[in-house]
Amino acid sequence: MKTYSGPTAAVCKGVEDASGSKTLPTCERLQGALKNLSISRGSTVVVHALPATGSYTFLSLLLAEPSSKGIYSAVVGLDDYNFSLAAHLGVDLSKVITVDPKLKFSERELARAAFALLDGFGIVVISGRIASLNSPRFSAKARQKGATLVVIENSSSPKEISYRIKADLRLFVSRSPWTLSGSVSSGILAEGEIAVQAVERMEHHPGRRAS
Amino acid sequence: MERFVYLELSNLLAMCYEWGEQDVCAILAERKVVGLSKGALSGGVALGMSQSQAMSQLHHLEFYPRDVKKEAKIASTVADALDSVSPYFRYLDTTSAYLPYRAVMRYFKEPVTLIRSIREALSQLDISEGRRLDDDDILIGIADGFVAAKAASLQNLVIPQDANQRFLESLPITVLGGDVVVETLIRLGIGTVGDFIHMNLADISTRFGVRGIELLEMARGSRANPPGCTPPSKGVKVSFTAESPLVGYDQVVFSQIPKLADEVEKLRNAGLIATSLEISISASRSDSRRSWSLFSGFDERSIADRIIWQLQGMEEHFEGPSGWDGVNSWQVEFLDVVGDAGIQMDLFGSAKAPPGMTIRAAMKAETILGVNSVCVPYVEGARSSIDTVGFSCWQELLQGSSSRSKNNRGGSGFRGGPVDQRAGNPPWPGSIPNPPPARVFRDRPIVKVTSLTGEVVRVNRRGGMVLSPSVVEFPWGKRVTEDFLGPWLVHQRWWDDDQEQRFARLLVLLGDGTAHILLTHEGLWYLEASYD
């Protein structure tokens, strides 16, 4: 899969080596999309996407490199996330835990569990609905523990994109339309491109788009 | 369970110093007393006391630091003597060693004979400057399991196999270890191993997680420590050969740390860690071979330390550097490796982080959500996209008791278990080809697939589609189809009336650029999965 970036922002000033302790390592395929941008540990990243427009593909790519570097991730509240896509895109699933999707829990219970997981996991991925229960507390704990909190905020239409969750970095993910591939042997669908547009949190101008 | 001989040489380190009968002196390491003169012992000071406790017993007690070089020489002398009894002794540190009983049972037949041989070998030994070990300082215990053998050595006991469990149950719970879980158990009033084993397994799992279960297995005698040692599939060896004999070796050993780290890392990537290794050193005038154990697992630095200890012991035997010609080569061979359950990389890839941080967080989450709620996903073959991902309880994986297919999990991490070789690359005809869809819907929402004329599209029994799909009506709105692939008929578990499934799949590409897998069964259409 090719990735390209839209207007991106150098969110982390003085970006360090990805293997250093201040930023999350990212795979080559994501580095193209996240040019000049790195995701700091302890930050809250909100991934905005409309359904079926690349948020889970982006998430899989985001988890791939950290898992290969021995960083453990937890995915909570994304019952429809297909981990076989994650494995297909290079995520070492032995470094990932989740809550059994066959069991039903209230969002409040899942939020408590995710809050506990921030104590020991490098990346904690939660849904926007869980994060919205107490987003300042989640962000504060992620910052304190040095864990990266990734919030997948799905909206059914562009008008419904919500900014209720405070974020250090907002990523708007979109992808090129799917097309059928020529032959089934090479995969039934042709791999498209993912575009990531980043908006940083500004101290005095929240939500301002970076250029 | 494995039967062990445990040997502790109490107060051996005191031999490093030439103290008289009346001297009241102690050797201090990490603020604990590790060696005592006879005067201090008779004054009520005991080994293992803290500095302040020792001072409160004898206020004029003099403290000395450890003399590493002399300790190495003494350890080397003791090891040589023990080698004459059996070459299978494994050394935990300067003062303690153990021996798998099966390694010597054919030769010695009776435990008493073995104990007598060890005592004779050690009591005749000129440890240092004519000083010899007292018989009281040689503590030997034989029992099933390492924990019981160590406890038996404190009283010089041989525990018969049929009495082993009773002996273990009578011991204080502190014999299982001195960690937080044991401290909490003591606070909860669980004083002995016997009290602990009668606790409910589910309660222990919920409250204490993996460490609790591990302790319970040790307490019940179903797990010896070291647990089921497994030799590595190919003997892992790291060797070094000098071009000419090296007199100064510290720098050279430390320069080899990256090489050792590579092997340690390889094991760690396979979810393993070495707990025993053999170091063979060849010097110009002598050779030395010794097995070392470290139950928390060796890393590159702890291996380098043991090479240096062994080299120091050899050097000291030549009465100082003048008689020491230098070392020609050494070799480290990993003897036992076990599953690396507790040691892991930290959040950002360094192995220096406090181990178990991630495990504790997962345990906490499981306490909130309930037993077996937190799990590790793994990919397996299936025709239905929802079945291509299985979930193993993460604690089950830690114990390595899961027999489910795990070869797509990556192998390291929360620990690998037995792998189903069959699942390597199963064909699974009828499964969805790559790329896998990003979303799979467990409750499969009903959708409506209609043709241009608004009629519902149907798939007949032979897999033919009478009308072309033009519009798909999702719960969130109608979408026009741009293209489609299929339908594919799937008929599975036809041999089982209860589980037989017959359905057809259709891949649709919609006008908004999205792609979905739809499934039709008995005239109804469902959304099975979506690409993302």
Closest to A59 (Cα-Cα) out of A32, A82, A36, A79: A82
pLDDT, residue A126, reads 93
Q: How many CB atoms lie within 10 A of CB A148?
A: 28
- Of B294, B435, B102, the closest CA to residue A181 belongs to B435
| Contacts of B475 by beta carbon, 8 Å cutoff, 6+ apart | B445, B447
- Judge whether B318 and B285 are in contact, CB under 8 Å: yes
Is the peptide bond between B226 and the residue preceding it cis, with omega within 30 degrees of 0? yes
Check pLDDT > 90 for residue B330.
no
Strand-pairing partners, residue B530, are B439, B516
pLDDT given for residue B307 in this prediction: 85
- How large a percentage of chain B has pLDDT more than 70? 84
A88 min Cα distance to partner chain B (Å): 7
Distance, in Å, from the CA atom of B330 to the CA atom of B249, rounded to the nearest integer, reads 11
Instruction: Label residue B433 by pLDDT band (50, 70, 90).
Output: confident
Is the separation of the CB atoms in A113 and B369 below 8 Å? yes
A156 touches chain B (CB under 8 A): yes
Residue A9 has pLDDT above 80, yes or no: no
Q: How confident is the model over B103-118, as pLDDT tens digits?
A: 787 788 788 888 988 8
Split at pLDDT 50, 70, 90, the class of B340 is low
Q: Which of residues 357-386 of B touch A (CB under 8 A)?
A: 357-362, 364-365, 368-370, 372-379, 385
pLDDT digits (tens, 9 = 90+) for B372-394: 788 888 887 777 778 888 888 77
Work out the pLDDT band at A123, boundaries 50, 70, 90: very high
Are A170 and A46 spatial neighbours (Cβ–Cβ below 8 Å)? Answer: yes
In CATH terms, B237-339 corresponds, of 3.20.20.140, 3.30.1490.100, 3.40.50.2000, 1.10.3720.10, to: 3.30.1490.100
Q: Please state, for a pLDDT cut of 70, what percent of chain A lies above it.
A: 78
* Residue B317 or residue B260, greater confidence: B260
Residue A97 with chain B: CB contacts under 8 Å = 362, 374-376, 394, 414
pLDDT recorded at residue A124: 93
> Is the pLDDT reported for residue A88 higher than 70?
yes
The values of phi and psi at residue B112, to 5°, are: -60, -40
Query: Within an 8 Å CB–CB cutoff, is residue A202 touching chain B?
Result: no
**Record: contact A84-B374, CB cut-off 8 A:** no
Distances (CA, A) of B274 to B144, B249, B292: 22, 24, 10
> DSSP letter at B68?
H
How much of chain A exceeds pLDDT 90, in percent? 11
Query: What DSSP string runs through A108-121?
Result: HHHHHHHHHHTTT-
Phi, psi of B331 (to 5 degrees): -145, 135
Torsions phi, psi for B519 (to 5 deg): -130, 135
pLDDT of residue B343: 40
Q: What is the pLDDT of residue A151?
A: 92
β-pair partners for A84 = none
Highest mean pLDDT among B192-206, B355-369, B391-405: B192-206
pLDDT at B30: 76
Work out how many domains chain A is built from and give that number.
1
Q: List CB contacts of A74: < 8 A, sequence separation 6 or more.
A: A96, A97, A98, A114, A117, A121, A123, A124, A125, B361, B362, B365
Asked whether the predicted pLDDT for residue A74 surpasses 90, the reply is: yes
Domain residue ranges of chain B, discontinuous segments joined by +: 237-339, 357-424, 439-530
Going by pLDDT thresholds of 50, 70 and 90, the confidence category of residue B97 is confident
Nearest CA among B253, B300, B254, B298 for reference residue B277: B298
B/e letters for B350-361, b = 16+ CB within 10 Å, e = fewer, are ebebebbbbbbb
pLDDT of residue B270: 63
Neighbours of A75 (CB within 10 A): 27
Q: Residue B487: pLDDT above 80?
A: yes
Whether residue A117 lies inside any domain: the answer is: yes
What pLDDT shows up at residue B345? 37
Q: Is A71 close to B369, i.e. CB distance below 8 A?
A: no
Give the pair of three-digit tokens for residue A197. Answer: 């547009």
Q: Residues of B with CB below 8 A from A98's CB?
A: 374-377, 391
Averaged over B411-418, what is the pLDDT? 38
Interface residue B532 vs chain A (CB under 8 A)? yes
Does the CB of A137 have a partner CB in chain B at under 8 Å?
no
Half-sphere exposure at residue B152, Cβ-oriented, CA atoms within 13 angstroms: 28
Distance of CA B370 to the CA centre of its chain: 25
Q: If you measure CA to CA, which chain B residue comes closest to A49?
A: B532
Chain A positions touching B377 (Cβ under 8 A) are 83, 86, 93, 96, 98
Q: In this structure, what token pair is assigned to residue B87?
A: 């070459």
Per-residue pLDDT at B288: 82
- So what's the pLDDT on residue A18? 36
| Partners of residue A57 in chain B, C-beta under 8 Å | 438, 532
SS3 B166: helix
Query: If you average pLDDT over each of A137-146, A161-170, B296-305, B323-332, which comes out highest?
Result: A137-146
Higher-confidence residue: A14 or A159? Answer: A159
The ipTM is 0.83
Q: How many CB pairs under 8 A join A and B?
A: 209
pLDDT at position A114: 92
- Identify which of B294, B295, B145, B131 has the alpha carbon closest to the alpha carbon of residue B220: B145
Q: Which residue of B has its CA nearest to A186?
A: B434
Structural domain contains residue A56: yes
* B331 neighbors B237 (Cβ within 8 angstroms): yes
DSSP A29-61: HHHHHTTT--PBTT-EEEEEE-TTSSHHHHHHH
Spell out where B189-248 has E strands. 237-246
A73: domain range?
A: 28-192
Torsion of CA A137, A143, A149, A151, to 10 degrees: 50
pLDDT at residue B301 greater than cutoff 60 = yes
* Res. B498: pLDDT tops 80: no
Work out the burial of residue B67: count CB atoms within 10 Å of its CB; fewer than 13 is exposed, 13-18 middle, 19 or more buried.
Answer: middle
Does a structural domain hold residue A141?
Answer: yes
Smallest Cβ–Cβ distance between B358 and the set A53, A72, A191 belongs to A72
Q: What is the pLDDT of residue B128?
A: 72
B334 Cβ contact list (under 8 Å, min separation 6)? B232, B235, B236, B237, B263, B267, B274, B276, B277
Question: Is there a domain that residue A47 lies in?
Answer: yes
pLDDT digits (tens, 9 = 90+) for A149-185: 999 987 766 566 667 778 888 888 888 778 877 665 5
- On average, the pLDDT of chain B sits at 77
Least confident of A100-104, A114-118, B461-465: B461-465
Kindly tell me if the per-residue pLDDT of B507 is higher than 80: yes
Pairing mode, if any, of strands B471-474 and B477-492?
antiparallel
CB of A89 closer than 8 Å to CB of A114: no
When CB atoms are compared, the residue of A54, A88, A121 closest to B361 is: A121
Residues of chain A neighbouring B413 (CB-CB closer than 8 A): 72, 92, 94-95
Q: Kind and range of the H or E element at B158?
A: none
Top-ranked range on mean pLDDT: pick from A43-47, B104-108, B425-429: A43-47
3-state secondary structure B417-432: CCCCHHHHCCCCCCCC
Least confident of B19-23, B28-32, B171-175, B323-327: B323-327
**CB contact, 8 Å: A30 with chain B?**
no
Joined tokens for residue A15: 């970006």
* A window 73-102, beta carbon within 8 A of B: 74, 79-88, 92-102
Banded model confidence at residue B407, pLDDT cuts 50, 70, 90: very low
Residue B390, classed as helix, strand or coil, is: strand
DSSP H/E element including B177: none
Does the structure show a pLDDT above 50 at B435? yes
Strand partners of residue B400: none
Collapsing DSSP states into helix, strand and coil, what is residue B328? strand
How do residues B172-209 score in pLDDT, each as one tens digit? 888 887 777 888 888 888 888 888 888 877 778 777 77
- Has residue B355 got a pLDDT over 90? no
CA–CA gap between residue A9 and residue A202 (Å, rounded): 12
